Structure 1
Amino acid sequence: MSEQNEPQWERQTLEKVLMTALKEQRKGRNWSIFFRFAGLTWLFLVLAIIVTWRSHDGAETAKTLGPHTALIDLDGVIAAGSPANADTINEGLRNAFKDKNTKGVILRINSPGGSPVQAGQINDEIKRQRKLHPDIPLYVVVEDICASGGYYVAVAADKIFVDKASLIGSIGVLMDGFGFTGTMEKLGIERRLLTAGDNKGFLDPFSPQSPEQVEFAKQMLGEVHQQFIDVVRKGRGKRLKESPDMFSGLIWSGERGVQLGLADGFGSADVVARDVIKAEDIVDFTPREDWAQRFARSIGAEAGAKLASSLQLSLK
């Protein structure tokens, strides 16, 4: 071997050794990452099982206690996919009423409103449970706000208790959206909408408003509004001191709400449990989502937001 080729041979050999060492190092690092990931996954699953077990422990614990007041929290916007959806709240109501030690149920509401459908389903379930369990009263306790869809739910209760500074009422319906036709003209954007059906592009925000469609929407809102009014009148009965603006969508303080018959008195959950139901021990029957449910709901909410309509009928 010539002297000229000898350094080249040494360099090639050294490169091969270094590449082999580098591959082994990468392989070892990959296995290390894998085992770390597997360990974290195992730990996460164990923690999830513990959290899930604890989330269902409230209703089970109630069976071992003596007489108590059952509590269900309705917190936030009432909508499918949110924690304050009809399926979740109704599950809590059923569990609370069927417990043999429940002396009374408190539905604690802090909600600005939401879906009239979801609110109506909760209202119906409250009335159904009160018929099935006539000896167990249900009271609503309002925290900061019980407006629109929240109040739609509340009127199914035997009594409604508020704080003097709570916000209550807003008996109305809205459908909101935006119009972009002027902006599109300025930017030179042309709307190309193809439909099969004269009203398939109903109140499309990128098209000029149709007077006929606007009138149809107002009629539909009026129908839902009247349903809301009927539910309030039936739920509150003679306690309601109707005025011309009662069903106009205005909202009142808790103090004014009691004067108008929208609520019955003042009190927190603790006060109602102790002084009204006479069962001071409170057991929380609010269903709690486990980690898997929260993850699935977050994915579903993200996907649903992309498909949501620009117009939405709501009680808020």
Structure 2
Amino acid sequence: MENQSPAQRPASDKEWKLIEKLLGQAQDEHRKSRRWGIFFKILTFVYLFALLSMMMAGGRSSSSLAVAEDHVAVVEVNGVIAPDQDASADLIVTGLTRAFEAENSKAVLLKINSPGGSPVQSNQVYNAITRLRNEYPDKKVYAAITDVGASGAYYIASAADEIYADPASIVGSIGVIMASFGLEEAADKLGVERRVLTAGDNKSIMDPFSPIRPSDRRHMETMLNEIHQQFITAVRNGRGDRLKEEENPDVFSGLFWTGERAATMGLVDGLKSPGDVARDVAGIDELVNYSASRSPMEEFLRNFGVSIGEGIASQIGLEGAVPSIR
């Protein structure tokens, strides 16, 4: 330093001041980064706490409903009846169980707006209603169809003590369907060669890129007829002598009718809205909804899993290959 000329010393001082300034700015940025890090950690904690509170609130809903005054317990059946939908057997049966177990629920009302869906899911709900009716014989079960109560939805409704609908409701469609496509000619025109390897002579049954064999058609029709007969038996057991089969030979043909027409056929017992059923039939004005729903976390995981599952199903050709009663 002693050898530096006076002209060099100011430059050196400026360099040190610049270094000090840069170090100071770096420290400020570090402090700001720490503050933002703490902020986002707190925000994440608040979010998780709120999510947990929502899940716990959902779990507490049934116990809080149990202390209500005398009421009609409502369980909704909305949309397509399928395992991954809001109208799944698990969710509907959970709601029904809560409704029957609630001490002050004097009757159970199924509020239905569904075109149908899985025969398995529908039958599970039907059986659950039958079981719960036997366990709680003093509680009547009513079904009120709003816009649509067709196929699998009517399957469920037929387990109720009484069924009601609006005059313009769509009711019936007691049948089974399995739909697919025949793409073999399209593949030939496009020059696509289908390569299928199987272990089992019938493993490639209903392959859309191959002509359907007569034996395959017979097998599938036999299976669909068996499911249809199960549906018919359930409806007959539920409706009994109220069902006017002899006067209406098409009742089990898969056709559907308005609520007004369904009432003359014995498919429904009267024309009333859900509120009218509670007030005029059950004799109670108060309605309390016991419908079960997934927690926010379950909904997120379900949607995430469904997106992956649908992708896999589309790749291996399983989409649309399940019987449906709608």
Determine if the TM-score, normalized by the shorter chain, exceeds 0.5: yes
The alignment's C-alpha RMSD in Å is: 2.6
Contact 1:58–1:283, Cα closer than 8 Å, also in 2: no
Q: Identity across aligned pairs (percent)? A: 41
- Consecutive unaligned residues of structure 1, counting only runs of 5 or more, are 1-5
1:17 Cα deviation from its structure 2 partner: 9.9
Task: Report matched runs for 1:35-46 at 5 Å.
Answer: 35-46=38-49
Question: Are 1:284 and 2:294 counterparts?
Answer: no
Mapped to 2, the partners of 1:282 and 1:217 lie a distance apart of 44
Q: Say which of 270, 282, 292 aligns to 2:275.
A: 270
- Consecutive unaligned residues of structure 2, counting only runs of 5 or more, are 1-7
Q: Which residue is equivalent to 2:65?
A: 62
Question: Are 1:77 and 2:87 counterparts?
Answer: no
Q: Which residue is equivalent to 2:149?
A: 146
Q: What secondary structure sits across from 2:240 in the alignment?
A: helix
1:229 Cα deviation from its structure 2 partner: 0.9
Q: What secondary structure sits across from 2:178 in the alignment?
A: strand
Question: Are 1:312 and 2:322 counterparts?
Answer: yes
Mapped to 1, the partners of 2:37 and 2:191 lie a distance apart of 54
Mapped to 2, the partners of 1:244 and 1:45 lie a distance apart of 58
Q: Which residue is equivalent to 1:114?
A: 117
Pick closer, same or farther for the CA change 1:32–1:213 going to 2, 3 Å.
farther
1:26 Cα deviation from its structure 2 partner: 8.0
Matched AA of 1:281: E
1:21 Cα deviation from its structure 2 partner: 9.2
Matched AA of 2:76: D
Task: Report matched runs for 1:139-178 at 5 Å.
Answer: 139-178=142-181
Matched AA of 1:284: N
Q: Which residue is equivalent to 1:252?
A: 257
1:300 Cα deviation from its structure 2 partner: 2.1
Q: Which residue is equivalent to 1:210?
A: 213
Pick closer, same or farther for the CA change 1:29–1:211 going to 2, 3 Å.
farther
1:277 Cα deviation from its structure 2 partner: 1.1
Contact 1:48–1:290, Cα closer than 8 Å, also in 2: no
1:36 Cα deviation from its structure 2 partner: 4.7
Mapped to 2, the partners of 1:228 and 1:272 lie a distance apart of 26
Matched AA of 2:71: H
1:94 Cα deviation from its structure 2 partner: 1.0
TM-score normalized by the length of structure 2: 0.86
1:23 Cα deviation from its structure 2 partner: 8.0
Matched AA of 2:143: V
1:261 Cα deviation from its structure 2 partner: 0.6
Q: Greater CA deviation, 180-189 or 145-154?
A: 180-189
Task: Tell me the number of residue pairs that the alignment of Structure 1 and Structure 2 aligns.
Answer: 309
